[in-house]
């Protein structure tokens, strides 16, 4: 089988879902980073949504991060998703929920003033409160690292980076289990391997390029 080839943007938590999955399984892959503010023509030709991730597998293209991560999980063992259909469905549902929390995280990251950032933090906090009841710990479903862990790491990691810069927003104020899960994921070898070494500089540059309030907060 040809090596999976991902098209990515270096700060994208959606692409990270597949990269963490591949790293956790020890599968070799290629990755091409693009500038989302200046999308290359070849990318627009293969990406109908104009979004990353895109997976090239031989002559076939897949898009949508959940679809790609599940495909990679199916073809490269050991399977990280639950086998039981209902449990798998539950994990899928919460994977989708966690990416919605990531939407609040992104709004917070790019907010131009503190009031807007606080509003986004409150939105994330409210959503995290519902997530709390679902987490067994130390990983989502207990002792084993599963696909939902691989698919949630990037979103939760960005909340940790944000919280480190602006703890007074109380991002995890009502969500101690979510924070503990995020920290466990942050120290997992596959999650670490999925990030560029200079990711904090890349994050800082992203905040600066958006004139984000968060960028001016101390680390
Ligand atoms: N639903 C998509 C969302 C992916 C997404 O929003 N990717 C962002 C980067 S993190 C993107 O490509 N944005 C470019 C754009 O919207 O033009 C998925 O799960 O793959």
Question: Average pLDDT for residues 152-167, to the nearest whole number?
Answer: 97
Strand 5-8 and strand 54-57: pairing? antiparallel
The count of domains in the chain is: 2
Q: Give the CATH number of the domain where residue 55 resides.
A: 3.40.30.10
- Rounded Cα distance between 179 and 165, Å, is 15
Asked if 51 and 107 sit in the same domain, the reply is no
> Which residues are marked as active site?
12
Q: 44: which residues sit within 8 A by CB, 6+ positions away? A: 50
Shared domain check, 130 and 40: no
Which of the listed residues 75, 106, 134 is the one where a domain comes to its end? Answer: 75
**pLDDT of 1 above 90:** no
Residue 20 scores a pLDDT above 90: yes
User: pLDDT for 47-65, tens place per residue?
Assistant: 999 999 999 999 999 999 9
Look-up: residue for tokens 């290629």? 30
Q: Is 188 in the pocket of ligand 1 (CB under 6 A)?
A: no
What average pLDDT does the segment 196-211 reach? 96
Domain match, 103 and 195 both: yes
Question: Ligand 1 centre and the CA of 17: distance in Å?
Answer: 12
Q: How far apart are CA 184 and CA 7, in angstroms?
A: 27
Atom of ligand 1 nearest to the CA of 39: 17
Cβ(94) to ligand 1 under 6 A? no
Catalogue the long-range contacts made by 195-198 (C-beta closer than 8 Å, 24 or more residues apart): 195/16, 196/10
Q: Are 125 and 101 in contact (CB under 8 A)?
A: no
Which of the listed residues 32, 52, 62, 95 should we mutate to test ligand 1's pocket, taking the one with most ligand atoms within 8 A of CB?
52
Return the ∠ at Cα 156 (arms to 15 and 136), rounded to 5°. 115
In the block, tokens 């991060």 appear at 65
- Confidence grade of residue 165 (pLDDT, cut at 50, 70, 90): very high
- Ligand 1 atom with the shortest distance to the CA of 99: 19
Check residue 75 and give its pLDDT: 98
- Sheet with 54-57: strands ordered across: 30-33, 5-8, 54-57, 60-63
Of residues 1 and 132, more confidence is placed in 132
pLDDT, one tens digit per residue, over 117-129 is: 999 999 999 999 9
Q: Is there a single domain that holds both residue 59 and residue 97?
A: no
Tokens of residue 132, six digits: 């709390």
pLDDT of residue 150: 98
Residue 29 near ligand 1, beta carbon < 6 Å: no
Q: What is the pLDDT of residue 41?
A: 98
Compute, in angstroms, the gap from residue 90 CA to the centroid of ligand 1.
23
Q: Evaluate whether residue 80 is within a structural domain.
A: no
Q: Are residues 61 and 95 in the same domain?
A: no
For residue 149, is the peptide bond before it cis, meaning its omega torsion is within 30 degrees of 0? no
203 pLDDT more than 90: yes
Q: Are residues 63 and 106 in the same domain?
A: no
**pLDDT at residue number 219:** 81
pLDDT at position 106: 97
- Write down the pLDDT at residue 202: 96
Residues 116 and 15 in one domain: no
Ligand 1 pocket, residue 155 CB under 6 Å? no
Residue-number span of the structural domain to which 185 is assigned: 85-216
């Amino acid at each position: 089988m040809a090596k999976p080839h991902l098209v990515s943007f270096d700060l994208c938590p959606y692409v990270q879902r597949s990269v963490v999955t591949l790293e956790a399984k020890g599968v070799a892959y290629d990755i091409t980073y693009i500038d989302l503010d200046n999308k290359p023509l070849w990318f627009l030709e293969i990406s109908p949504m104009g979004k990353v991730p895109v997976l090239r597998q031989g002559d076939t293209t897949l898009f949508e991060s959940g679809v790609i991560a599940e495909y990679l999980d199916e073809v490269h063992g050991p399977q990280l998703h639950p086998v039981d259909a209902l449990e798998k469905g539950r994990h899928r549902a919460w994977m989708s929920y966690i990416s919605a929390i990531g939407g609040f995280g992104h709004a917070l990251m790019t907010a131009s003033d503190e009031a807007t950032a606080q509003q986004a933090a409150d939105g994330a906090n409210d959503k995290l409160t519902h997530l709390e009841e679902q987490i067994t710990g130390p990983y989502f479903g207990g002792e084993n690292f599963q696909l939902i862990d691989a698919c949630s790491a990037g979103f939760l990691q960005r909340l940790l980076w944000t919280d480190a810069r602006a703890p007074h927003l109380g991002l995890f104020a009502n969500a101690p289990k979510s924070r503990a899960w995020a920290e466990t994921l942050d120290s997992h070898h596959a999650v670490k391997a999925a990030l560029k070494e200079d990711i904090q500089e890349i994050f800082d540059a992203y905040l600066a390029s958006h004139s984000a309030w968060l960028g001016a907060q101390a680390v």
